[in-house]
Amino acid sequence: MAKANDITSEPTGNTATLVQIAKLYYLEQRSQQEIADELGVSRSLVALYLKRAKEQGIVRFTIVDPQDSCEDLSANLREVTGLQHVTVVPSAHNSSVLTRRSLAGAVARYLEATLKDGDVVGIGWGRTINEMVSLLAPSNPRKIDVVPLLGESASSISGEYSQVNQTVMQFAQAFNGQPHFLLAPLVVGSKELRDSLYEDEAVRRVASFWDRLDYSIMGIGSVPPQNGQIVYIGLEKLADFEKQGAIGDVLVRYFDAQGRYIHTELYDRLIGIDLQQLAQTKHRIALASGIEKTRATVAILRSQVCTELFVDEELARAALAELKST
């Protein structure tokens, strides 16, 4: 360590002194006064030496804008997948709640900018979708129709209710549009009962919108479910899909690792949009956050079921690496 008289004898400071003080200040997080007391010099002299260290390039600062990295990831994912649009948001450090909110906000801003009069919007369920709806703040009303893409369901384990009709109402209210409610369960006891419900005027009217959707908004679910993910079809039915290789789903349509659709008899009893109707939708928006959904997100991308993707940075990086490795 340089001696006090060595430091005070050279007002501009030699290189060794500048490095020493810079390390104490920037690496050891010592205050200028603490450094001054230790070296027996004035605080103003320490400040002068720190300034000299920057001027001589001994100390350099790099500002990393996470958005730059996110834009690069978005471009790379678009190139690899051929999607129409990809948005990647920064991952909040150790906070899935903040990451999910950031993602929901990005989807909300996208919809505010792109929705136009006459559009028909289909809504799925999920935590990010629910948060997205609460963040909608369009500057102008739109003459849009908003419909559920699935019947309602509940989890007897968590006590949670899907509330997709409530989400539809909130979405429509945000744009001053027209909500349409599907007053039917997600899964019924038989194919005959399902077919009978589709003949009901109230159900048929809502289901008719599925043939002319402009937007479908859907969350990506993972198998096995991640922490906090609600399984509305029940764990027993989910286990049947898992046995057949399912690793992800959108709108209760399950896919294996290669993006192949897994069909079971459950779909003969399910009230919701089918894949053929979904494929006709102009904008099929999928959203997911959390690196735990990497395999599920890759499966959905391989299935080509979506045209637009909204994910966080960690998930985007992991999904891109897996897509490029195979």
Write the pLDDT tens digit of every residue in 253-263.
Answer: 999 999 999 99
| Partners of residue 221 on adjacent β-strands | 249
Q: Is pLDDT at 149 greater than 60 in this prediction?
A: yes
- Please tell me the least confidently modeled range out of 1-5, 86-90, 157-161, 286-290: 1-5
Distance CA(1)–CA(7), nearest Å, equals 10
**So what's the pLDDT on residue 155?**
56
**So what's the pLDDT on residue 12?**
55
Query: Nearest CA to 108 among 285, 284, 273?
Result: 285
**Domain segments of the chain: what residues?**
4-55, 66-325
Domains 4-55 and 66-325 share a fold: no
Tell me: cis bond preceding 224? Omega within 30 of 0 counts.
Answer: yes
**So what's the pLDDT on residue 136?**
97
Q: Which fold has domain 4-55?
A: Arc Repressor Mutant, subunit A (1.10.10)
Would you tell me how many other CB atoms lie within 10 Å of the CB of residue 133?
Answer: 24
Distance CA(188)–CA(194), nearest Å, equals 6
Q: What are residue 246's phi and psi, to 5 degrees?
A: -65, 135
Write the pLDDT tens digit of every residue in 292-324.
Answer: 999 999 999 999 999 999 999 999 999 999 999
pLDDT above 90 coverage of the chain, percent? 77
Q: Which fold has domain 66-325?
A: Rossmann fold (3.40.50)
Q: Is pLDDT at 191 greater than 60 in this prediction?
A: yes
Average per-residue pLDDT for the chain: 90
pLDDT tier for residue 69 given thresholds of 50, 70 and 90: confident
* pTM, to two decimals: 0.78
More confident residue, 157 or 151: 151
**So what's the pLDDT on residue 150?**
96
pLDDT tier for residue 7 given thresholds of 50, 70 and 90: low
